[in-house]
Amino acid sequence: MSAMKKNVMTVSGIRPDFIRMSSIFKKLDDADWCNHILVHTGQHYDELLSGVFFKELEIRRPDYVLDTGKQTGGTHYHQLGYLSVAIMELIEKQDLKPDIIIFLGDSNTVCAALPLRKEGYIIGHIEAGMRSFDKRMLEEINRTTCDHCSHIHFVYHDEYKKYLEKESIRDNVHVVGNTIVEVCKPFVPASDVPKRKDMILLDVHRPENFNFAGRMKTILSYANACIDKYGLPVKMLDFGRTTKLIKEYGIDLGKVELVSLMAYKEYLDAVYHCRFIISDSGTAQEEPAMFGTPVVVPRDFTERPQSVAANCSFMLNVNDVFDPEETFEKSWNWLDNVDNGATTMDVSWLGDGNTGDLVLENLHSFLMK
């Protein structure tokens, strides 16, 4: 590696993070001022990710791949313990000498920022400042930890910068917009391609939902009610853990159809052509907005309140202490208003699609100080 260049290590491990980082990976590879070291922690590692997934997003082969998903027991303490040791050993054995280590998001992978910071490494966090203020979310703990270990923060929106300021994080905070815009733009169909609106997509995989039988029962009740109301099939992405627990709870899927997980292009095609999405995914509050598809979010809180304020998503209360029929009706009224144009989805909160350039510009300035 050239002594004149800065060594920038990116560490990612799950599908949403590779989606978001894909354009930044390419820009780092092309930058003449840095050597880009791409590390895949293996937190998600399957054919959809390592084969088709990487090809579709034109992500190059990682320089190093760890075995987080294969060799640990699957528990959080196994993953966190393994990551802490494996990343440190990789750096030392390969003599990588990173000038900065960059994480994105809120998966267990970002928790490696804590031991790395303690060992004196410089840390950067993309997607910093997001807060749901719901400590039941494991991701909330992860992203907060990474923010407080980081030396430079890249936030998607002014609101996240304010959240960091309230936590006394004020230095090296840069508003760069959302990486998802430049990732999705190439996949958005031309304006003359009609939406089929021939199904409803269901994506539920958060522990705060699938760990509670009552919440899952309400979500599936809502999905079946949507089938009856709209006369459309509901296709539920088959995340193994969620499906297994539904069976253990003895909950009937009703008319809901299970479908296999999709490669990225196939998924975005489904996002564009479905009538709407029911999802507890954070990323699913962003990608569908790019395709003009509304999202019903079965959660109590969201770290993306801008999506709700911009009429891109609707929060569906699935607690046991409410009248589900009333909430169902409210969601349908909102969906109908979006569909007939009475309510307009505003995607400006996602930024202008220049995130990658802004990240590299601010990262370069920071490292050259």
Instruction: State the pLDDT at residue 52.
Output: 73
Cβ neighbours of residue 70 closer than 8 Å, sequence gap 6 or more: 42, 45
**Measured between alpha carbons, how far is 173 from 129 in angstroms, rounded to an integer?**
9
Write the pLDDT tens digit of every residue in 31-57.
999 999 999 998 766 655 566 778 889
Domain segments of the chain as ranges:
6-177+354-367, 187-349
Compute the distance between CA of residue 14 and CA of residue 213 in angstroms, rounded to an integer.
26
Q: How many CA atoms lie within 13 A of 275 on its CB side?
A: 20
Report pLDDT digits (tens) over 284-315: 999 999 999 999 999 999 999 999 999 999 99
Residue whose C-alpha is closest to residue 223's, from 213, 233, 214: 233
Average of per-residue pLDDT across 191-200: 96
Write out pLDDT tens, residues 13-23.
888 899 999 99
Judge whether 6-177+354-367 and 187-349 match in fold: yes
Residue range 6-177+354-367 in CATH 3.40.630.30: no
Tens of pLDDT, residues 236-262: 999 888 888 899 999 999 999 999 989
User: Cα 245 to chain center, whole Å?
Assistant: 23
pLDDT of residue 1: 46
Query: Do 152 and 362 contact (CB within 8 A), yes or no?
Result: yes
Q: Which residue has the tokens 């304006």?
A: 191
The CATH classification of domain 187-349, taken from the options 3.40.50.2000, 3.40.1160.10, 3.30.565.10, 3.20.20.70: 3.40.50.2000
Residue 276 has pLDDT above 60, yes or no: yes
Mean pLDDT of the chain: 92
- With 90 as the cut, is the pLDDT of residue 74 above it? no
Confidence band (pLDDT; 50, 70, 90) for 76?
A: confident
Q: Identify the pLDDT of residue 71.
A: 61
